[in-house]
Amino acid sequence: MHDDVDNFLHYMTVERGVSTNTLAAYRNDLSQLVQFLEEHDDCSGWANVNDAVITEYVLHLHGLGYSDTTRARKVASAKSLFGFLVREGHLDKDPTENVTSPKVGRSLPAALTEDEVDRLLAAPSVVDTAESARDQAMLELLYATGMRVTELVSLDLEDLDFDSASVRCFGKGGKERMIPLHEQAIEAVSAYLGEGRPEPKDKASRPAVFLNRRGSRLTRQGFWLVLKNYARQAGLEGKITPHTLRHSFATHLLRGGAQLRHVQELLGHASITTTQVYTHLTSEHVRTEYDKAHPRA
């Protein structure tokens, strides 16, 4: 079973081009599935797995206390694996075919107000250090571009083009896109590169834009610690996630009159349906402003 899972993960990497984070989620989910099947009395191989066993597995996940979202992801991982096994000829029938995933309510992404963004972006400037210069540059760049945190920490120096006021980033599946930069973001990044960027630790770290104090490329986890610290300083603790500035970027653009299709391109969404969730936030904002402003509201 483990060999087949490895083959599936290789397929998802090479043929589908999934991101490192997505691959890690698949590996974790499928390791848990295989462990469950190996401990099941009637499952000595894939051919013994039927829809009743998969239903037991779904109930098992529920018993472990996973949220609907997590259970839905784990079921989706199982469906992807069994679909692969059928296509590869290891199974005649997909045992997950009639198993429904847990219903997941669509939650709207949280966005900060423009005032809250200003407070957050001002937090690093309270002190004048090399690290605060880096942090200022990261926060300004995130809000200026709406890129994902993984895309931010993956940036190399060659991805920055101040002459054309743009930055190149590689999204999910290695898809490349160019994002415009405004003057404030360029100034913040330039200040960091000129005064705050430490000496790279080794050859592998040399291309990275954002380095930690040891001179290695900053990680997503490292950025999250930085962000939580400034959220606390700005009085925004509990309102911030790694994607908050991305959500705020999209919401504020749409409120400012940007076309949905353009926002989709900037965010790197494959489908415009994904981007449309932000229109609900702008609709809520319009309703709030209406209730405040209309004399009969």
Domain coordinates of the chain in residue numbers? 2-87, 114-243
**Most confident listed range (11-25, 36-50, 143-157, 242-256):** 143-157
| Amino acid (1-letter code) at residue 158 | E
Residues designated as active site: 148, 172, 243, 246, 269, 278
Of residues 103 and 290, more confidence is placed in 103
User: Confidence class of residue 225 from pLDDT cuts 50, 70 and 90?
Assistant: very high
Which range among 31-40, 59-68, 98-107 shows the weakest confidence by mean pLDDT?
98-107
d(CA 107, CA 231): 22
Task: Look at residue 285 and tell me whether its pLDDT is greater than 70.
Answer: no
**Most confident listed range (97-101, 238-242, 275-279):** 238-242
The answer to whether the predicted template modeling score (pTM) of the entire model surpasses 0.85 is no
Domain 114-243 belongs to what topology? hpI Integrase; Chain A (1.10.443)
Of residues 52 and 105, more confidence is placed in 52
Task: Show Cβ contacts of residue 80 under 8 Å, excluding neighbours closer than 6 positions.
Answer: 8, 12, 26
Task: Look at residue 119 and tell me whether its pLDDT is greater than 50.
Answer: yes
Which helix (H) or strand (E) element contains residue 289? helix 277-293
Q: What is the DSSP string of 142-195?
A: HHHH---HHHHHT-BGGGEETTTTEEEEE-GGG-EEEEE--HHHHHHHHHIIII
User: Confidence class of residue 68 from pLDDT cuts 50, 70 and 90?
Assistant: confident
What's the rounded mean pLDDT across residues 159-180?
Answer: 92
Architecture of domain 2-87: Orthogonal Bundle (1.10)
Q: Strand 176-180's sheet: what is its strand order?
A: 160-161, 166-170, 176-180
Task: Look at residue 251 and tell me whether its pLDDT is greater than 50.
Answer: yes
